[in-house]
Amino acid sequence: MRLYDIESPDQIRSLTIPQLNALAEDIRHFLIHSISKTGGHLSSNLGIVETTIAMHYVFHGPQDKMIFDVGHQAYVHKILTGRSTLFPTLRQLDGLSGFQKRKESVYDCWEAGHSSTSLSAALGYAAARDILHQDYNVVALIGDGAITSGMSMEALNDIGAQKRKMIIIFNDNNMSISKNHGGMEKRITSIRSSRVYRNVKQDVKGSLDHNKFGTETLKFMTAFRDRLKKGLIDAPLFEEFNLDYMGPVNGHNIAELIKVFETAKEHDGPIVVHVRTKKGKGYSFAEQDTVGKWHGVSPFNIATGQSLMKLPPNEKSWSQIISDALIQLAKKDPKIVAITPAMAQGSKLMKFAKMFPDRFFDCGIAEQHAITMACGMSLGGLHPFVSVYSSFLQRAYDQMNHDLARMNLPVVVGIDRAGLVGDDGETHQGVFDIAMLRSIPNLILSQPKDAKEAYDLLYTAFTSGKPFCIRYPRGQAIVPETIAFDSIPIGSWTKKQFGLQPKGIIIAYGPDVERIEHTVQENEYEMIVVNARFFKPIDEHLLTSLLNLNLPIYVFETDVTMGGLSSAILEFQNQYKNKIHILGISDHFVEHGSIRALRKNEHIDLESLFKEIDAHG
């Protein structure tokens, strides 16, 4: 069967097991070659091919609800539901989303981008089905990283209490993005490595192979549960939540998976099916990855595994710039510690972890815990740095407010991937943190325009004795050979005047400041360009002097305007009469696409800025 001929999962149910196995290999080949051209989430999808095929073989969407936690591993689901021809547009503007998307297909009943939402959503569906007296299956697939988060624990607790019929497929590959951490992971590992586990795993296969309908399988699994409860090994996590448990099952054996799913489908009440998979299966570079390099990739050379995106030798990613500065400061200050919620690779903290293993903490997918743990460390005398993606920081708003800012603790928060991130889409765009944090008392919120200013802001943050946030975007910047640390007055902005009689004022922040300065100079505009490197507090003294010039002001904002920098300026400007023009993201979610395409689409590119200036010049 050709992948391009698949329009619905109904077509695969007539295939034999050998044909399904061949389909799995075709899908892997397709994914590797397609993602090598577009980029995307590779290793997680390679690991879930057979499991997804078996899900669609047994369960009948769109009536049956299949929810993929996070949704980044739903590429196989998209192929089986008739979207293979759209993969050349993956994560491009107006193209195929990298996650489940309800408007994209009737088979997508849920959509997310952040982890650990699937179990709560599935329970909600099950409750709605029962209350409305409907009849369909609810299936949630969740990985071993996402299941350890607090939200998953809350959902498991309620699922066990409500006892509604639903199926949880636990995808156990011992690696969410990078290696998993924490007590829950150790609990799962103890099950994997025990002698009873290994013996039972063989018995499971034998039971399935000799049993057409699988009814004996569930009896066997119940016996397995009883053996666990007798103390032969620790009972699985799920048993303690009053959930029935089947597994472990080979997640790459389609015949075995189909039989187990058929059995689980007949079970009355919530049941967990534990499948073991290999992340990156079928592509050697991804299989050997232990740090998450092949989780999300840019276009790459299949033969060599090398990325096709090469940075100039004098440039580094913003994440790397912050990490390098942190390491330099940590060499001099033994109290500096670094914390990340499961994003060590993406945040470029692996070198810090290697150099200072006792001062590095990967707390798993637990942003709330990361912030509050940092608060405790601060009160205990340490100097914490928390690296967290902007979109994930949304999950820790209460901790930023209640624990960090309210107690006015000296913790530095590095807000990575701030601003538009591009192809991961609306769930990952880091455009809300300024508006989210600006209303919180005591917090300092800043963004550097270049590598030097990043070093200086980090140094200033650690010496400030205050809760201090530094946001920095996806992308890269030029890095000088040597950078010294200098202190920056908190709340200060800088300005640069072009021409003797400026006709207007541009207020911007981040890397756009230098781009704007270059364009102004190159095109001989007479303007004042302001580097608004602090969002809170703002430089009221400089802003007052600028407003007194009675010139038009252009606020160039690459985040949401509601509650952002422009709001702060308008609040302060209320008693002045200057004409203020605002360019920024209006009240909506920004979907996927390249950053360049999205900026043009949102009218927050330099061309749009200078068109606005020319129109009012």
Nearest to 423 by CA among 112, 46, 39: 39
Q: What domains does the chain contain, in order, with CATH numbers?
A: 3-287 (3.40.50.970), 315-478 (3.40.50.970), 494-616 (3.40.50.920)
Q: What is the pTM of this model?
A: 0.89
pLDDT at res. 575: 78
Residue 210 marked ligand-binding: no
Q: State yes or no: 455 annotated in a binding site.
A: no
* Band of residue 309 on the pLDDT scale cut at 50, 70, 90: confident
Q: How many CB atoms lie within 10 A of CB 293?
A: 21
- Is 173 flagged in the annotation as binding? yes
Residue 361 token pair = 């903490």
The C-alpha atoms of residue 209 and residue 9 are separated, in whole angstroms, by 25
For the sheet with 553-560, list strands across it. 494-498, 527-531, 504-508, 553-560, 580-585
* pLDDT of 167 higher than 60: yes
Measured CA to CA, the distance from residue 171 to residue 165 in angstroms comes to 19
How high does pLDDT run on average in the chain?
91
The residue that leads in pLDDT, 393 or 189, is 393
With bands split at pLDDT 50, 70 and 90, how would you rate the model's confidence at 237? confident
Contact criterion met (CB below 8 Å) for 66 and 95: no
3-state SS class at 320: helix
Residues with catalytic roles: 279, 367, 395
Whether 362 has a binding-site annotation, put simply, is no
Say how far apart CA 177 and CA 143 lie, in whole Å.
Answer: 10
Mean pLDDT confidence for 233-238:
56
CB-based contacts of 4: which residues, under 8 Å, 6+ apart? 84, 85
Cα dist from 89 to 83, 108, 592, whole Å: 11, 18, 11
Q: Is the pLDDT of residue 387 over 70?
A: yes
Across 55-74, average pLDDT: 97
Tell me the pLDDT tens digit for each residue of 440-465.
999 999 999 999 999 999 999 999 99
pLDDT score, position 195: 45
